[in-house]
Amino acid sequence: MTTELIKIRGLMQNSDDFMRAGNLLKNGEVVAIPTETVYGLAANAFDEDAVKKIFIAKGRPQDNPLIVHISEFDDLAEITSEIPESALILAEKFWPGPLTMILKKNDKIPMAVTAGLSTVAVRFPSHIYARAIIEAAGVPLAAPSANRSGKPSPTTAQHVMRDLSGLIPMILDGGECDVGLESTVIDLTGDVPTLLRPGGITLRELREALGNVAVNPKILEEVSDNEQVASPGMKYKHYAPSAPVVIVDGEALAFRDYVCRNAADKSIAVLCFAEEQHLFDGFDFRVIPYGNRTNPAELAHGLFAALRSLDDISADIIYAREPEVGDGMELAVVNRLSRAAGFTRISV
Ligand code: TXA
Ligand code: MG
């Protein structure tokens, strides 16, 4: 299959392209689309055969459910059987935007989408092209991130091309994604709303809106074999470049000294804060900054692109820096980086 890459310049300028993407989706095909978080690989959420194509193209485990994307609030009733008060509050505040709610599904959503679960993940993206594509398709779109399973999520159309070229018919290029990592996932089906994946909407914002919000401990911990998890995505190694990643905690100079000692007998690369880059001037290994330590949104925006460029470097090991965990965007950064590192962490 050849993959067509279409650069989107505007809703009017590319109206034919939106129509073609919509027709492909109506006809049971998959299309990669931009969203404000990361690129998604979309298919008609009501069409089981179309949804199966997503799993094949991504090499995604069958038991990992997909998020269903809608283009207006009223579509929520098309896919869920119950809309709790908490969902109305969150929708009012954060939709359209980078928030996914887990709700009870209805019968129209096939089991292939939810991997057999009785709940469904729903998101109403704010990206205007994403919404235009959902509207052109005329149906809600099931879409996971448009990477090959295990790789960092794509934040540009070129990342998608790299992973899925030859495997899907079309990629719509809407430029770089704003947020840079995936949506926040919150489960609203239990007694207490529970954060399952930190993302673009922060824990602080969720608590301001709802009061009590629990945090699933597996956000920052490794899941052991055969352990039951609230969200299947927690089980899988994610976002990993080909070389092993080790997170190094400690002062900047101690970090620099540790890395330089190890560089004597290993080929290394460094993923650091922007303000630490100069510490490595004059050394001949690759140093990739991903944002300012004090600016979690910037770190979130830069992380996946940085992990992908590290993937292109042949290093034996990657030493990485992480921000301190709080209730803002840094929680999402540490969650993704921990997974990329397989939870390997040292203090210096
Ligand atoms: O920002 C995003 O959310 C992007 C864009 C494309 O919208 N999508 C995305 O999808 O990140 P994906 O498939 O890479 O991640 C979906 C996560 C997985 O960890 C999955 O296990 C979880 O959501 N999930 C989906 N349905 C669920 C459900 N019913 N219960 C619990 N977790 C669920
Ligand atoms: Mg993903």
pLDDT in tens, 137-146: 999 999 999 9
Summarize the confidence of residues 163-174 as an average pLDDT: 98
Q: Would you tell me how many other CB atoms lie within 10 Å of the CB of residue 210?
A: 17
- Ligand 2 mean position, distance from CA 197 (Å): 11
Measured in Å, residue 101 CA sits from the centre of ligand 1 at 10
CATH superfamily of 245-347: Threonylcarbamoyl-AMP synthase, C-terminal domain (3.40.50.11030)
CA 266 to centroid of ligand 2, rounded, Å:
31
Task: Express each pLDDT in 67-87 by its tens digit.
Answer: 999 999 999 999 999 999 999
Ligand number with the minimum distance to the CA of 126: 1
- What is the 12 CA–ligand 1 centroid distance (Å)? 31
- Residues 125-151 have a mean pLDDT of 97
**Nearest atom, ligand 1, residue 120 CA:** 29
Q: Which atom of ligand 1 is nearest to the CA of 183?
A: 1
Beta bridge partners, 101, equal 122, 186
3-class secondary structure, 330: helix
Write the DSSP symbol of residue 59.
Answer: T
Locate the ligand 1 atom nearest the alpha carbon of residue 182 and give its number. 1
Q: Which atom of ligand 1 is nearest to the CA of 125?
A: 7
Task: Say if residues 133 and 72 touch (Cβ distance below 8 Å).
Answer: no
Ligand closest to 70 (CA) is 1
Q: How far apart are CA 54 and CA 204, in angstroms?
A: 33
Q: Provide the edge-to-edge strand list for the sheet that holds 286-289.
A: 286-289, 268-272, 317-320, 245-249, 345-347
pLDDT in tens, 3-26: 999 999 999 999 999 999 999 999
Q: Domain locations in the chain? A: 4-182, 245-347
> Which residues, in sequence order, are bridge partners of residue 69?
123, 141
Can you tell me whether residue 76 is helix, strand or coil?
A: helix
What CATH number matches the domain at 4-182, 3.40.50.300, 3.90.870.10, 3.40.30.10, 3.60.70.12?
Answer: 3.90.870.10
User: Is 269 within 8 Å of 282 (Cβ atoms)?
Assistant: no
Ligand nearest to the CA of 185: 1
> Which whole number is the average pLDDT over 333-345?
95
Ligand 1 within 6 A of 161 CB? no
In this prediction, residue 158 carries a pLDDT of 98
- Could you identify the atom of ligand 1 that is nearest to the CA of residue 37? 1
Ligand nearest, relative to CA of residue 54: 1
182 CB within 6 A, ligand 1? yes
For ligand 1, atom 30, the nearest C-alpha belongs to 231
> Is 196 touching ligand 1 by the criterion CB < 6 Å?
yes
Q: What does the pLDDT average to over 257-283?
A: 94
pTM recorded for the entire structure = 0.97
257 C-alpha to ligand 1 centroid (Å): 39
114 lines ligand 1 (CB under 6 A): yes
pLDDT tens-digit map of 180-227:
999 999 999 999 999 999 999 999 999 999 999 999 999 999 888 888
